Structure 1
Amino acid sequence: MRFSVLPTRRPYQAAVVPAWRRTFMGAARRVAVTLLLPVFVGTPALAEPAATLSVDAIAQKYGALRSASMLEISPNGELIAFRKVQEDGDLVIVYSLTKGKMVAGANVDELNPQDLYFINDDYLVMVASERRRLMGYRGELNLSTAFALNVQSGEMEQLLRPGDNIVRGQTGLGDIAGISADHRYLYMPAFVGRSDYDQNPRRSLMRVDLHSPRRPKVVEKGDADTLDYFLDDDGKVLAQEVYDNRDDKYSIEVPDGDGWRTIFEEKTDIIARTGVGLTPDRKSLIVLARNGSSGRVAYYQMSLADGKIADEPYGRDDADIEGVITGLDGIVYGLRYSGFTPSYELFEPSKDAFLKEAIVKFDGHSVFLSSWSDNWNELVIYVEGPTTAGSYYLVRPGKPAQFLANSRANLKDEPLNPRVVYRANARDGMAIPTVLTLPLQYADNPKNMPTVLLPHGGPESYDRLGFDWLAQALATSGYLVLQPQFRGSAGFGLEHILAGRGEWGRKMQDDLTDTLDYFAKAGLADRSRVCIVGASYGGYAALMGASVTPDLYRCAVSVNGVSDLNEMLDEDRSKAGDDHWVVSYFEQSIANGQYTQEDLEAISPITHANAVKVPVLLIHGEDDEVVSIDQSDEMHDALEDADKPVTFIRLKNENHYLLQSETRTETLTHVLRFLQENLGTMVVANKD
């Protein structure tokens, strides 16, 4: 049971084939403070602030990973499985709801599982990853694979093994294209070559027997350009998705005798559509595409008989679709819509009514569909919001929601800092939705607060009203946190996204400046005590803020951020090739496709290092494969050469996403101390 987010069902690349990054990165009308006060005061989270905490205590509380996560329910609704992180180990636990006890488990300290799902009532699959070196490959590789845990015996076995009919050095080995009707066989894409180190492997389809996973059978040889497969319930391929980077050609092909027949084809340097799953009758593919008449991103049906795309898309006019709800069989059950709190539309009316009834019980919170039983009589939902930092519930028809677990047990009794959405105005009149997190310390008098401007990564992403560990930690430390959804952010319609194309370092940066100005004029933000903090794209924005608007901020923090756009694109072309579609996407996103080396220099923070006037903190994961640590290393050198105050923290054994509790806590500690030094806070100084 899965929720797919854009782009959906996209296979990972083998390390022997150039790997590609995930999308990186993340004079206003005066607003009377009294207009905002009722919104804050009326939130359930508003309680007496906790006793003043030290920097170390706050970092430990909010930097810790979720103690319970990835909660899944078995097909028969009788078992739940989840990852439990505690001081004495990292565990995957299978718990019987009927017996009220643990029935299976595994120590996964060395595996770092990223996903869990039941294949049937007897087998649980976990997808895990590790970073290590392989003989014959340069550098370290971020390798992932899948393991099956037999709930009855407690034995665990790896499913696809490098060297076992598949080439070494590839990731994404937990991807499932389909499952047999009896739930015994999994159909999993993998690169297969003539040898373990074949430089031109084919992305093939493997049939894996859960009872005996060694030596999986190749059921479809595939091609190096194959992206994904779509299957019936017997493992027969109904269609494959292909993208030829050399010719910039995207196509959908269906079996035709011993070969393939192309039912859809288009020439494009940026993949404009992708298959996300099948309709329940398996006669049509559901594809993400751009509506030619409205320009909006939408989901359509494509007939597998002739490739004809339906005239009317899925969706509604008041919200964009963020992703689809799919089963392991590849069937699409419904849609999830974007927004500060998510909403859903399931295609079957009874399922849709059941889910909506569950969500309405948690009004004002972000409710996420986590898992469901085969008959949809049991739903597991995950709830974040004013009254909880994260909780799982079991929902059954006609029964009250049953609490299952606190996701962040260390915060279950902590009062949360209230969050609200308000719209600022940019200088050209564009509305900039902004999430404000108000420190409880200022609840009685929310005026002239020390402020952190926190732009998100992506940049085609957005912030939600659920639990945000960084925003909560900053607010607990006494800072008003502003999270502007600047132009180029997703979640607010295509027009808002396209308004950001070609505006890196320009209007996207102006939106941050204008948002700060808006709330300073409202009397909320203390204009003299502002720091800009961001990660990934947000780190780029923080460095641009410090270098092109240096008088606005007292300090700047960049975590895994970009400093030199020319170098970044050169590295990407080296990895993926000049003709790769994602290179084209970033060229469009950054500079609208029309740029020179000098254009990119002008919007690169490293070019403006001499203009920086405030202390800068750079933090970067040494294993970051999305934004190279060289970006922070060279920015550090440029600032030092310009005799600017700069600190550079290297995070050992950490990647772009701060997935480890130790390094997340370390990051938060450095950020809070840095802010304390430059803005002053209400937290107690550490006694070193």
Structure 2
Amino acid sequence: MMRPSGPFRALFVIALILLPATQVQADSTRISVRDYGVLPKISQMSISPNGEMIAYRMTENERDMVVVYDLEQGKHKASLDLSESGLQFNGLYFATNEELILRASQVRWVWGYRGDLDLSTAFAYNVEQNEIRQLLTPGDVIYKGQEGLGRITGFSPDNKFVYMPAYVPDSPNDQSPRMSLMKVDLDSPRRPRVHFKGKPDSIEYFVDENGEVMVHETFNNRRNEHEIFVREGDGWKTIYREETKIRSIIPVGLTPDRDSLVVLANNRETGRDDYYTLSLESGEITNMGFGREDADIEYTYKGLDKIVWGARYSGFNPEYRFFDPELDRRMQKIRSMFPEHSVWLRDWSDNWEDLIIYVEGSQFAGTFYKFSKNEPPTQLASARPKITAERIHPVVTTRYKTRDGYKIPTLLTIPRNRVQSLRNLPAVIMPHGGPAAYDQIGFDWLAQALASRDYLVVQPQFRGSSGFGLDHELAGRGEWGGKMQDDVTDSVNVLVKQGIIDPERVCIVGASYGGYAALAGGAFTPDLYRCVVSINGVADLEEMLKYEEREYGDDHWVVAYWQNNYAKGEVTDELLNAVSPALHAENFQAPVLLIHGEDDQNVPFRQSKIMYKKLRRADKAVELLELEGETHNLMRGETRLQTVEAMVSFVDKYLRRNEVGESAQ
């Protein structure tokens, strides 16, 4: 086995003692916006299959560590220092009682390839032997220039091997490798074997209890053909075929008997994403009756064997349904203990004896609990021990009607000292990213930081948002800068009319698509906002579409998705330019702050550079903050603090009143 080297140091002693959140003494001094923006101290908690250990990520000051804690003995078992790795760690879970899987990514240049690549992979960390190994390494049998590594499809029966999809070239000069399934030795992962050689258009695999591929999924971008094959003797049988630019069914797992695939698809009768099975024998698709008319099934809970045990529904607060009646009753009881809060199932032990639950909302800034069968719950740790209940600003739900009668669900984060007097408040409108996403009740560090400065934060779930039914999402197609933007504008107008917000003190802040909406607000409703903040936002849609075409190829489904999203598929330069804020810089009246990660691979930094140059040439007030080493999701501690401080300082400059009661300039 390989010993830890390079960026990793394995430790057996660590100063942190895991304490129940109630025992953490909050700092009595006044907290700042930095305290809201800091990375969670405890995150990504997982429990071992036997329920005896937990593992979690601990981030504090300059330290970034994975800690393994023995619940039975009440002491730390092992830990791993990630601080100098140069990697961004996105998750961890127990594969066995001895092995942790860590997923990580890094944006860097690779010789022979154009531009930087977002290289992701997985590591196995043996808790008993204190050893870490990278499972797949680009260039080691697999294609050197690929992204998206780290996904595990299954395990061998003896748990000694994992099966991982990866692109494998036929020769050193092959520039069109196939996604195959690799068999990786957990103890010695170098020189992995090709377990199953894929087709040029393979996208997913499902394996049986012996680790053999039983289901093979393909999507041909040139022919717009989605197919699913099942093994039949020595050959393969097609059980599903559809001609479509974008998949209409998404396989997510297997039924416990492995006789059917579990697939998510939209239910035409309800307009909601629903739960179906696809028979591996007949190809028949069956609705299993778990769907709802008021929520989408947005996630399924499955083990490492891909067997699905339950589902989570969309909504401002997540709801659940499990197929085992006893487990379902347990989850409903747990949810009832935290009314109006978001209760997240994070992990579970074998046979679902122990559940790791994460709670956040108006009274919790993130608290981990262990709920074990027939035992009282154990409070494990607070994600943000400095943010106590009295320092959390309450989040409430509301709806408003747009100019064309559309009802928009909305979250309001209210400064605690203004709960009893919602009149004439300074406000920040904060549209979410996506746009096919939505906000939920929880600890939103940007919203909480702004509310701590006495701003009402408004988060409209404009048409085009997911989570509220297909009709709501499709109503936003082709409406960039149109009805989606009108919905954001109307959130201001309605609250002004109700006397809740001061029309002279409104800013708009957003990230990703929300950054686009912020810039569109400055460009197309210039009288509405006193300031504009765009974080990793889109500014030039024509340039953005060209970027996607370079990344994926002009016949890829991702490009088709964005063409449909921007303009219902009828894309023209004139249409894109008409709704691109960068091409309307002369309209801006409000000052603009652009914040962008230099390594953003979703929305490239060039988007903010274009916006900055256009505004400067138009002689408009603009600032640009480049976040060194940061990607799209602001996961680095230092750059998150840069972001929250710069954003709040900028908003303060234009919304806070000076000593004589006038807005600061």
Question: What TM-score results when the alignment is normalised by the length of structure 2?
Answer: 0.92
Does residue 58 of structure 2 align to residue 84 of structure 1? yes
Deviation at 1:599, TM superposition (A): 1.4
Q: After superposing the two structures, state which structure 1 stretch, 154-163 or 256-265, moved more.
A: 256-265
Match of 1:30 in 2: none
Instruction: Report the Cα offset of residue 312 of structure 1.
Output: 5.2
**Aligned equivalents of 1:441, 1:90: Cα separation in 2:** 35
Per-residue Cα deviation, 1:223-267 (whole angstroms, up to 9, x for no partner): 231111011111011111100011111000122444432211111
RMSD: 1.8
Q: Is 1:639 the counterpart of 2:639 in the alignment?
A: no
Q: How big is the shift at 1:204?
A: 1.0
Give the CA deviation at 1:311. 4.8
Deviation at 1:464, TM superposition (A): 0.7
Query: Could you tell me which of 10, 35, 38 is aligned with 1:61?
Result: 35
In structure 2, what is the equivalent of residue 94 of structure 1? 68
* Structure 2 counterpart of 1:586: 562
1:281 Cα deviation (Å)? 0.5
Deviations 1:535-582 (A, max 9, x none): 111111111111111111111111111111111112211221121112
1:185 to 142, 153, 161: 161
Letter in 1 for 2:249: R
Deviations 1:280-309 (A, max 9, x none): 111100112233455443221001112111
The 3-state SS of whatever aligns with 2:652 is helix
What are structure 1's unaligned runs of at least 5 residues? 1-49, 684-688
Return the offset for 1:172: 2.7
What residue is the counterpart of 1:116 in the other structure? 92
Q: Secondary structure at the match of 1:340?
A: coil
- Post-superposition shift, 1:623? 0.8
Instruction: Choose the corresponding residue for 1:436, options 412, 417, 438.
Output: 412
* Structure 2 portions without partners, runs of 5+: 1-26, 660-665
Number of residue pairs matched?
A: 631
Q: 1:490 to 1:232 in 2, by over 3 A?
A: same
> Where does residue 47 of structure 2 map in the other structure?
73
1:373 is aligned with what amino acid? S
Is this contact kept in 1: 2:142–2:169, CA < 8 A?
yes
Q: Deviations for 1:564-608, whole angstroms, at most 9, x for unmatched residues?
A: 111111221122112111211111122112242111111111222
Taking a change above 3 Å as real, the CA distance of residues 335 and 474 of structure 1, as seen in their structure-2 partners, is same
| Equivalent residues in 2 for 1:517-596, closer than 5 Å | 517-596=493-572
Where relative contact order (Cα < 8 A, 6+ residues apart) is larger, the structure is 1
Letter in 1 for 2:37: G
Kindly report which structure 2 residues correspond to 1:208-227, keeping only aligned pairs within 5 A, or say none.
208-227=184-203
Q: Secondary structure at the match of 2:197?
A: strand
Residue from 643, 647, 653 that aligns with 2:629: 653
- Aligned ranges 1:295-444 → 2 under 5 Å: 295-311=271-287, 314-412=290-388, 415-444=391-420
Q: Distance in 2 between matches of 1:140 and 1:535?
A: 22
After superposition, the Cα gap between the structure-2 partners of 1:77 and 1:51, relative to the gap in structure 1 and judged at 3 Å, is closer
Q: Residue 615 of structure 1 corresponds to which residue in structure 2?
A: 591
What is the deviation of 1:211? 2.9
Equivalents in 1 of 2:398, 2:271: separation in Å?
27
Question: CA contact under 8 A between 1:58 and 1:477: conserved in structure 2?
Answer: no
| Post-superposition offset of 1:459 | 0.6
Query: Contact 1:563–1:604 (CA<8 Å) still a contact in 2?
Result: yes
> Per-residue deviation at 1:519?
1.1
Contact 1:207 1:216 in 2 (8 A): yes
Q: Secondary structure at the match of 2:240?
A: strand
User: Is 1:167 aligned to 2:143, yes or no?
Assistant: yes
Q: Distance in 1 between matches of 2:245 and 2:191?
A: 38
Structure 2: which amino acid aligns with 1:635?
Answer: M
SS of match in other structure, 2:118: strand
- C-alpha displacement of 1:462: 0.7
Match of 2:651 among 647, 662, 675: 675
Output the amino acid matched with 1:483: Q
> Secondary structure at 2:366's aligned position in 1?
strand
SS in 2 for 1:388: coil
What's 2:212 paired with? 236
The alpha carbon displacement at 1:133 in A equals 2.3
SS at match of 2:443: coil
Pair 508,437 (structure 1): closer, same or farther in 2 beyond 3 Å: same
- Partner Cα distance (2:288, 2:95) in 1: 34
Separation (CA, whole Å) in 2 of partners of 1:394 and 1:648: 44
How far apart in 1 are the matches of 2:626 and 2:413? 29
- Equivalent position to 2:237, from 251, 261, 266: 261
- Give aligned-pair identity as a percent: 50
Partners of 1:347 and 1:222 lie apart in 2 by 33
Distance 2:29 2:40 in 1: 23
Is 1:470 aligned to residue 453 of structure 2?
Answer: no
What secondary structure, in the 3-state scheme, does the structure 1 residue paired with 2:583 have? helix
> Could you tell me how far apart the structure 2 residues matched to 1:216 and 1:83 are?
28
Deviations 1:117-149 (A, max 9, x none): 111111111111222222222332221211111
Mean alpha-carbon deviation: is it higher for 217-226 or for 69-78? Answer: 217-226
TM-score (normalizing by structure 1)? 0.89
Corresponding position: 1:629 with 2:577: no
Alpha-carbon contact 1:133-1:140 (below 8 Å) kept: yes
Within 5 Å, give how 1:144-163 maps onto structure 2: 144-163=120-139
Correspondence for 1:202 among 161, 169, 178? 178
Q: Contact 1:371 / 1:379 at 8 angstroms: preserved in 2?
A: yes
Contact map agreement 2:365 2:389 (CA 8 A) in 1: no
Matched, 1:448 2:424: yes
- The one-letter code sitting in structure 2 at the alignment partner of 1:70 is Q
The answer to whether the Cα contact below 8 Å between 1:477 and 1:682 also exists between their aligned partners in 2 is: no
Partner of 2:527, secondary structure, is coil
Equivalent position amino acid for 2:385 in 1: A
